[in-house]
Amino acid sequence: MTVHVALLGRTPWALVNTYYASVMRGSRPRAVYVVTERRYSRSLPKIVEALREISRAYGFEPAIETRVIDDDDFQMADRVFRELFSEIDGEDVILNMTSGRKALVAAAIVQSRNCNLREILYMALLDVAFPNRPYMMLPIHMQRLKNFLGDGND
């Protein structure tokens, strides 16, 4: 089984669009974990609903959980990711870092070293004139999905 761990920062569309691209490439996670800092947590209800709708459209319904970390609390981020990755024990993990702030990204990558990390995804938007649009409303040639672990598709 696979789980998707998504980091939420300033740009909710970045998280949603990267998830959409991952699902379009065949990912069907059993669970999605969205981790964010308190300052961005107001976006969580919309993010969760978007993830549910995308998943339903592709015929599956993952469990979706959220984790909120205090703003700029590096120790809490480290602890939350260590606990999360130990809960996921044995499953393949896709880490969606597109929207994540540096502290969350760093903590997630460091703590993921003991799990079955399959992909570290980042979606580059090549023209920032279109930042707040759904994935399918953005020209495909303006989006570049990169798996930092490499899979031949990036």
In sign, the C-alpha dihedral spanning 13, 14, 15, 19 is: positive
Q: Which residue matches tokens 């069907």?
A: 28
Residue 153 forms part of a structural domain: no
Question: Is the distance from CB of 145 to CB of 125 less than 8 angstroms?
Answer: no
What's the domain count of the chain? 1
Task: Tell me whether residue 152 is in a domain.
Answer: no
The token pair at 117 is 């990390």
Q: Which of 2, 43, 42 is nearest to 22 (CA)?
A: 2
pLDDT tens sequence across 51-88: 999 999 999 999 999 999 999 999 999 999 999 999 99
Residue 62 β-bridge partners: none
- pLDDT recorded at residue 152: 47
CATH number of 77's domain: 3.40.50.10770
Is 6 within the bounds of a domain?
A: yes
pLDDT tens, position by position, 98-147: 999 988 999 999 999 989 999 999 988 766 666 665 655 555 656 778 89
Q: Give CA separation, 57 vs 13, 51, 52, 72, in Å.
A: 18, 10, 9, 35
Confirm whether 40 is domain-assigned.
yes
Would 154 be classed as within a structural domain?
A: no
Check residue 4 and give its pLDDT.
98
**Verdict on whether the full-model pTM lies above 0.85:** yes
Task: For residue 40, give its domain range.
Answer: 2-147
Q: Tell me the mean pLDDT in the region 4-15.
A: 95
Whether 106 is covered by a domain: the verdict is yes
The beta strands (E) that lie in 9-57 are given as: 31-37
Span 25-38, pLDDT tens digits: 999 999 999 999 99
* Number of helical (H) and strand (E) elements in the chain, helices listed first: 4, 6
Contact 21, 122 (CB under 8 A): no
